[in-house]
Amino acid sequence: MGRLRTSELLAALSVALDLTEGQRAGHALHTAYLALKLADRIGLPQETRRAVLYTALLKDAGCSSNAAAVTRIFGINDQELKARQSVAGRSVLAMAYLSIRSLPNEPLPLQLRRLIVLALSGTRERRAVEELRCERGADIARKIGCSDEVAQAIMDLHEHWDGRGLPRGLRGDAIPLLSRIVTVSAGLDIFASVRGPAVARQVVRERSGSWYDPDLTAPLLELCDGGLLDELASPSLKEYVFSADGDRAIAFSDDAHIDRIASAFADIVDAKSPWTGRHSQRVAAIAEGLARRLGLSGDRLRDVRIGALLHDLGKLGVPNTILDKTEPLAPEEWAVIKRHPQLSREILRQIELFAAVAEIAACHHERLDGKGYFRGLSAESLGLSARVVAVADVFEAMTSERPYRPAMTEERALAIMRKSSGDHLAAEVIAALSDVDSLAA
């Protein structure tokens, strides 16, 4: 049975967090590299490097929890706004400019009303949204099994050296060292990717002593003088990052550890929208029950459960303006929705041992008659594992409330699904639904 480092799994899954934050894929991995280089430069002990690594890879673990709130407050694409925030200043003028730029295309009276609300309660709203994100990120880190040191560092990542950060306004050395290392490293990578290395170095220099710890910016800038940012394109980057994990590896047969990480990322996905609640967890419970009922066991049963937990991972790349829309979607919005199984597949395929999991996740919107998405596969291409997760996904969605309709009863959902059996969903899997105990879990 294969083995992989925990960091390899987290690095692959962190791409979904990059998408949610409006950053390019690989931002968390680049942040981890920069943070580890800085940690080495200032002489942190080897045993601390793993904590630096996990803090960097999971720094945005709480990002999905405030996506709906950001969309509600500003009324626009949450990923676009977060990308703008990541390079915005924090002065009143900077925030005002960001607010005006971020107003949706609404009639002028509605825009004025939104600006007034932001002016009156913007600081309080921002603090609440940031606090939710930070607390959620810390909780996810604990669920995965990270140390309290890592969880606290994630909680305090948006604090600033001068005490003007969020959500608690910590100052100086009261901010954990891990937070300070990862924050300046993330900022350097964001500005380097958006505005180029020269501007990135200038911003870090200008924010030294305000946003960032001056005792960290100096050695980081010295590393940049030595070509640090050029190293982000190195083919050996991943191996350097993963080396911080030491010899810590998961046997792929260790279902408990794999399941814990997959379950934590399922929670991140479900937190993206107030309408999804525990969707991924329930789909996994239903799919596992169906798989057992249909005779799957061992590796195949494990793959079904992990595939079900992570089937919607690509939805972290879908804006909440689409996910939570109550009106019918426009064709271009449907095109975005239809990309999410493809994104799930692309992210999961980075993990060699997740090949079967990636295919299961990719197929949850395919149909037996070939009219599904994103590849329009036919029945011959859809194995039992994919059919199980597709049925579990449809049943859970139909029996849960959505922004465009109320929840159906299990009986009504089953009746509708039976009518579509044979062309949309597999009849033998639907037939097993009534025998699964976890439907109402």
Please list the active-site residues.
315
Q: Cβ neighbours of residue 28 under 8 Å, at least 6 residues apart?
A: 11, 14, 15, 17, 18, 56, 57, 58, 59, 60
Euclidean distance between CA atoms 366 and 375, whole angstroms? 7
Euclidean distance between CA atoms 47 and 50, whole angstroms? 6
**Cβ atoms of residues 169 and 186 within 8 Å:** no
Give residue for tokens 């009261």.
174
Backbone conformation region of residue 328, classed left if phi is above 0, alpha if psi is from -120 to 50, else beta: beta
- Around Cβ 191, how many Cβ atoms within 10 Å? 21
User: Residue 42's closest CA among 177, 212, 206?
Assistant: 177
**Cβ atoms of residues 152 and 138 within 8 Å:** yes
E strands, 231-350, are 249-251
Euclidean distance between CA atoms 223 and 204, whole angstroms? 13
Euclidean distance between CA atoms 424 and 392, whole angstroms? 13
Measured CA distances, 311 to 66, 125, 341, 375 (Å): 21, 32, 7, 15
Euclidean distance between CA atoms 16 and 270, whole angstroms? 13
What is the C-alpha end-to-end distance of the chain, expressed in Å? 32
